[in-house]
Amino acid sequence: MLTLLNEYKHFNGAHRRYRHFSQSNQCDMIFAIYLPPRALSGSRVPVLYWLSGLTCTDENFATKAGAQRYAAEHGIAIVMPDTSPRGDDVPNQNAINIGHGAGFYVNATQEPWAKNYHMYDYIVNELPDLIEQNFPVNQTRSIAGHSMGGHGALQIAIKNPERYQSVSAFAPIVSPSDSAWGQAAFREYLGKDTAAWKTYDSVTLLREAETLLPCKIDQGTADEFYPRELQPEKLAQVAAERGFALELNMREGYDHSYYFVSTFIGEHIAFHAKYLAVLQKV
């Protein structure tokens, strides 16, 4: 059951926040959805799933990126889930990269995380089923994200190309197995066996992938986490070696913040709109 928390008129569409019980995460989850004017007038529209980064909730992107303006223009719904399960009964650590706000879009196998931290299943299966059953959308989807969310979007798209039309990322953690943030989280969620880590590592996955969806990545050169945690060139190199098209834009002087994301989000929405329109059903 969905519980409506907030609703705002926005660019003649509707931005809504909901709470529901998640079977994947065994706790209440919150997500937001922006429905463009076209959806409110009776048409079923395609969906862009946005995955946010460490410490974020559904509200960071919704209030800071300015994406709704472009979604309204292109007739695309945007779904913005929380980054992690939360609550008094959900395990947590006092660290930005483990626990609440840091689900890393994996299915945890280690205690105490295994019961609740199944963000991969939630994003790939449970949430789309919920959205498609309850809102005026079709089954045409794309996926995007920022930082940890960029990691999530890329590894999910590489593993599930049949479910999406395109993928994009801002400052993504493309190789969490080679990142201090990723290593710490994976050790907690997946255990010490690094073979399990590779199933969520975009660089490793792309080496063995049969295809790559249309892919766009933006990285700021003044990002305080680049190149230590963020190594998009690694993914671009593997894509080139495999003969896959990947657009990597190095943005001079931009940092890791939503000032960066909001500057280029219009280009990302337009990028996805081009591919979502191919299978759009009215």
Name beta bridge partners: 28. 21
Q: Give the type of residue at 81.
A: P
C-alpha Rg value of the chain to the nearest Å: 17
* Catalytic entry in 118, 146, 151, 256: 256
For 235, the token pair is 């993914």
Instruction: Name which of 136, 154, 134 is nearest 145 in CA terms.
Output: 154
Contact between 75 and 38 under an 8 Å Cβ cutoff? The reply is yes
Q: Is residue 250 classed as helix, strand or coil in its secondary structure?
A: strand
* Whole-number Å distance between alpha carbons of 248 and 170: 10
Identified catalytic residue from 22, 147, 168, 202: 147
Q: Is the peptide bond before 227 cis (omega within 30 degrees of 0)?
A: yes
CB 175 within 8 A of CB 202: yes
User: Using CA atoms, how far apart are residues 244 and 248, in angstroms rounded to an integer?
Assistant: 12
Q: Is 256 a catalytic residue?
A: yes
Please pick, among 15, 201, 223, 268, the residue that the annotation labels catalytic. Answer: 223
223 is catalytic: yes
Query: Is 168 annotated in the active site?
Result: no
Find residue 77's DSSP bridge partners. 47
- Cis omega before residue 112 (within 30°)? yes
Active-site residue numbers? 147, 223, 256
